[in-house]
Structure 1
């Protein structure tokens, strides 16, 4: 599991003072990028080799509103790995309160948008870390 802190800024909120729904997607993207960097995958090097990650699918549940100046935590866990994609669970919490939950499928693609193999660092992760 990976934990990534987020503070809600004024610019993240709508006129009602709650986090605008699309910003949760930004939050979980930042957390995924940080997780990938933390496990040693250089996405710029991948891109130079013609391979990139792309979001294939997101299932999102908006559970409770987050508000200006809240301190949130994005928890990312790897749920499943195949040779060309990974499925991740991502929760956004305010303390113990779950405010947003997503199941994200990430595909690895190469030239022309065709499936490519995930980097070995991901494909070879032990099952215990993937749950």
Structure 2
């Protein structure tokens, strides 16, 4: 069964433009943090993967901006996984507030990469098992 993961983000001054509105590229950073924390919550530590010469890279991202967040807002970034393949997976993410207002909807495809060879590689079986256990 698919379990949606949530990561809380507070909007800081550094995240905003001169008008106190979150700068568009920073939403992508919030999404990245949530995917990283999703991995960590499932026992997958990226520094350990890097030491083995393995990593995940974003190969595509669809981002729909729905409304603007502002300085001091507390946001929830959701994360769930679908469409696990041999060397890639797709994450669906929303950025909302506690009232359920949607700020961003995103779909991100990640691929597994052998960092030493700089080539795609299969998702390690123990990680793929986690991905599939959380997939629709």
Residue among 11, 14, 37 paired with 2:40: 37
What is aligned with 1:118?
Answer: 123
Q: 1:130 to 1:84 in 2, by over 3 A?
A: same
Residue among 101, 110, 123 paired with 2:105: 101
| Structure 2, unpaired ranges of 5+ | none
What is aligned with 1:23?
Answer: 26
- Extract structure 1 runs of 4+ deviating beyond 4 A: none
Conserved 8 A contact 2:80-2:92: yes
Q: How does 1:1-131 map to 2 (within 5 A)?
A: 1-95=4-98, 96-110=100-114, 111-125=116-130, 129-131=134-136
TM-score (norm 1): 0.93
| Structure 1, unpaired ranges of 5+ | none
Tell me the matched-pair count: 131
Distance 2:107 2:131 in 1: 20
TM-score (norm 2): 0.90
Q: 1:48 to 1:58 in 2, by over 3 A?
A: same
